[in-house]
Amino acid sequence: MTGVLPIALSRACRLNEYFMHKDKVYVGIMRLHKDVTDSDLKKAMKSQTGKITQLPPLRSSVKRAERIREVKKFDIIEIAGKDVLFLAEVQAGTYIRRICDEVGKELGGAHMLELRRTRASIFEESTSVNLYQFEKALEEYKNGNEILLKSILIPAESCILKVMPKVNIKESSIKQLLTGKPLMKTDIIEKLPLEDIFAVFHESKFLAIMKKSEEKDILARPEFVLN
């Protein structure tokens, strides 16, 4: 597989949980094992859209148990002989190879030939850097020029605002919140968002990620603190 691979550095690795458990988009080639009509192909692919049940493969790093995943799109882009170029938009943790196998069960056999990830959560292929660009930036960094490498890096706070809402807090609460203090009503200067998990900012400065609490007088407790 090729395509988008987001990489977090240092403490930002702990934020992957919030960035990466989002939808992914793939473009791939599925090879059919026999000639089929367009209508039969579309019917078989449609059966693999919506909520489906998947069993992770034997070599998977996750627990091998059936789980429900959502396939939002599984569309034909082009057909050339027995090769089907397709686009798939799926929930994180969906196995595209398994989907192709299931289509094959209805059509006399099929397997995935190629796969390219064009979007992973908020990260798009169009705004990504390739390995050659990264290698050049790294070489310049080793030679004492960090400008190119810094231009590649994306600040975590700009990513956070794309995946969750935020709440602003008073300047007087910053120090205590950065030591892990729960969020109290007296800390905030605006209403909490409806979502259970949200980012805490003071103006443009990212401070923490909090999860709502049902405890008396405590609005939320920290899941991640920038300290």
Residue 212 lies in a domain: yes
| Range(s) of the domain holding residue 168 | 164-225
Average pLDDT score, the chain? 93
Count of domains forming the chain: 2
- 168 - beta bridge partners? 201
The reply to whether 86 and 179 lie within a common domain is no
Residue 12 lies in a domain: no
- The confidence band for 209, taking pLDDT boundaries of 50, 70 and 90, is very high
Residue 149 lies in a domain: no
The DSSP H or E segment spanning 53 is: strand 50-54
Looking at residue 51, its pLDDT comes to 97
Q: What is the pTM of this model?
A: 0.86
Residue 158 lies in a domain: no
The reply to whether 105 and 44 lie within a common domain is yes
Q: What is the CATH number of the domain that holds 173?
A: 2.30.130.10
The contacts found for 141-149 with CB under 8 angstroms, 24 or more apart, are none
- Please report how the helices 96-107 and 38-46 are oriented relative to each other, as an axis angle in degrees rounded to 10: 130
Q: What is the CATH number of the domain that holds 93?
A: 3.30.70.3190
Q: How do residues 73-111 score in pLDDT, each as one tens digit?
A: 999 999 999 999 999 999 999 999 999 999 999 999 999
Give Cα 222 distance to the centre of its chain.
22
Q: How do residues 9-35 score in pLDDT, each as one tens digit?
A: 888 888 888 888 889 999 999 999 999
Residue 221 lies in a domain: yes
Residue 190 lies in a domain: yes
Contact indicator for 45, 74 with CB cutoff of 8 Å? yes
Looking at residue 63, its pLDDT comes to 80
